[in-house]
Structure 1
Amino acid sequence: MKEGPDIAHVAALIGDPARANILTALMSGKALTATELACEAGIAAPTVSGHVRKLMGGGLILGCSQGRHRYFQLAGPHVANLLEVMMGFAAAQGYLRTRPGPRDPALRAARVCYRHLAGEAGVRMYDSLMGRGFLALAPDGLSLTTQGEDFLVSCGLDLTGVNKARPPLCRNCLDWSERRFHLGGSLGRGLMDFIFQKGWATQLPRSRVVHFTQKGRRTFEKMFPL
């Protein structure tokens, strides 16, 4: 008998096309109803409940009830990280879904990766922070330097709330479209919230796309120069 973790079980859960679409939809960081998940996955509403049960049983998603509705979301950042790594591998091997139209370049430009910024904008932010010594590689992955703390506080980011959030503070997250790192962890989530609060960008409805205003884009690029 073979010993060790059973990756075949997890792979089978994710490998079903309908369940893969459900998980991808939840990468937006938003909680969705079964009806919304059925729409995203392109399957009949009565069918989605079976897929949801399997994903919950496998520890990939969670469900919660509010009023008359039941909402579902990813079980946590660890699941989002797993999915993003798989997306990066699939893209590198040329396994891409063909959905021509403006949404594809928009997703590559800036998108939400489970509550932090991904795409070209996310990689730019990461490279800028690393290049100026505000982030540094550490034995456990990644750390925010003292200079980085001073810079972010000077920009108006509340690091107190970020530091109190669920660890890790900083984490490398492989970007599937750029095939380079963007910033995850509680700092990545804090910076995403900061960008939205400042009105530089908004997340498009029913989408992972992050749309920057012209002024917001200029301010963002000034804050994170390359």
Structure 2
Amino acid sequence: MKSREPGAPRLAALAALMADETRAACLLALLDGRAWTAGELARHSGVAASTASEHLGKLVAGGLLAEERQGRHRYVRLADARVAGLVEDLAAYAAPDGGERPPTLRAASARDAMARGRTCYDHLAGRLGIALTDALVRRGDLQTDTGFALSPQGVDLFAALGIGLERSGRRPMARACLDWTERLPHLAGTAGAALCSHAFDAGWVVRIGSERAVRVTPDGERAFGDALGIGAESLR
């Protein structure tokens, strides 16, 4: 018997796309906002290249991934910010409660680095993302009464820092994204993406390792301290 709910088949199809550990691993890896090759995702997921290609084809056909080709190389990335938000929200919901111990010292170090600071698609997350968000709220730059919204003062702050805010498309200017390690909301949306992009361009943050983990540089500690009043110890 078919469901009387018209949205049920689409929801079931979407859930089925993500209900595979290899495809889930690929989606989580692509939360770094970059384009990956099938070979890179195969190695990351621990499967054969042919297996990865098959899974990626399904994700592309299902609209979760976008495909790009440069010469002989094929790259995939998350289709858009909405897909990234969906993956991050599900990861937060499914995150362990802290009782699981990493199997190796290397895995424990990688987990700790991701918890300290990382990219969540195109914005900053982890304790770093929470510290920035809390500072914006504390200063009155970010309002949280009915969801996240930049205040006029917050818009002025971004302008003073030289961070452009493009008001185009359907993407909200500010959006709360539940952090899967901190279980608190961090800043996403256009403002979150612009802040993250500027932080990389200005050398305030740099990537570490091959994962999404980032660290704040000395220049970043000074910049975030001057602009938002965040102590250096909160950024490390």
Q: TM-score, normalised by structure 1?
A: 0.90
Give the conservation status (yes or no) of the 8 Å contact 2:64–2:78. Answer: yes
Q: How does 1:97-136 map to 2 (within 5 A)?
A: 98=102, 100-136=107-143
- Alpha-carbon distance in 1 for matches of 2:227, 2:89: 28
RMSD: 2.1
Is residue 192 of structure 1 aligned with residue 192 of structure 2? no
Cα deviation for residue 214 of structure 1 reads: 3.2
- Alpha-carbon distance in 2 for matches of 1:110, 1:131: 20
Cα deviation for residue 25 of structure 1 reads: 0.8
Is residue 35 of structure 1 aligned with residue 39 of structure 2? yes
Structure 1 partner of 2:158: 152
Q: TM-score, normalised by structure 2?
A: 0.86
- Alpha-carbon distance in 2 for matches of 1:46, 1:96: 32
Sequence identity (%): 40
Which residue of 21, 24, 30 corresponds with 2:25?
Answer: 21
Give the conservation status (yes or no) of the 8 Å contact 2:179–2:185. Answer: yes
- Alpha-carbon distance in 1 for matches of 2:153, 2:64: 37
Structure 2 partner of 1:5: 7
Give the conservation status (yes or no) of the 8 Å contact 1:60–1:75. Answer: yes
- Alpha-carbon distance in 1 for matches of 2:84, 2:99: 19
Q: 1:41 to 1:97 in 2, by over 3 A?
A: farther
Cα deviation for residue 143 of structure 1 reads: 1.8
Cα deviation for residue 126 of structure 1 reads: 1.0
Give the counterpart letter for 1:18 in structure 2: T
What do the CA deviations read for 1:3-35 (whole angstroms, capped 9, x no partner)? 132333222211201001010110000001110
- Alpha-carbon distance in 1 for matches of 2:155, 2:13: 42
- Alpha-carbon distance in 2 for matches of 1:64, 1:149: 34
Which residue of 81, 88, 91 corresponds with 1:87?
Answer: 91
Structure 1 partner of 2:233: none
Give the conservation status (yes or no) of the 8 Å contact 2:172–2:190. Answer: yes
- Give the match's secondary structure for 2:53: helix
Q: 1:188 to 1:96 in 2, by over 3 A?
A: farther
Cα deviation for residue 94 of structure 1 reads: 6.0
Cα deviation for residue 163 of structure 1 reads: 3.0
What do the CA deviations read for 1:140-193 (whole angstroms, capped 9, x no partner)? x3321111112222223233xx33476211111111001111111111111001
Q: How does 1:170-209 map to 2 (within 5 A)?
A: 170-204=174-208, 206-209=210-213
What do the CA deviations read for 1:54-112 (whole angstroms, capped 9, x no partner)? 11121111111111111000011111111111111112656968353311111001101
Q: Please, which runs of 5 or more residues in structure 2 have no aligned partner?
A: 231-236
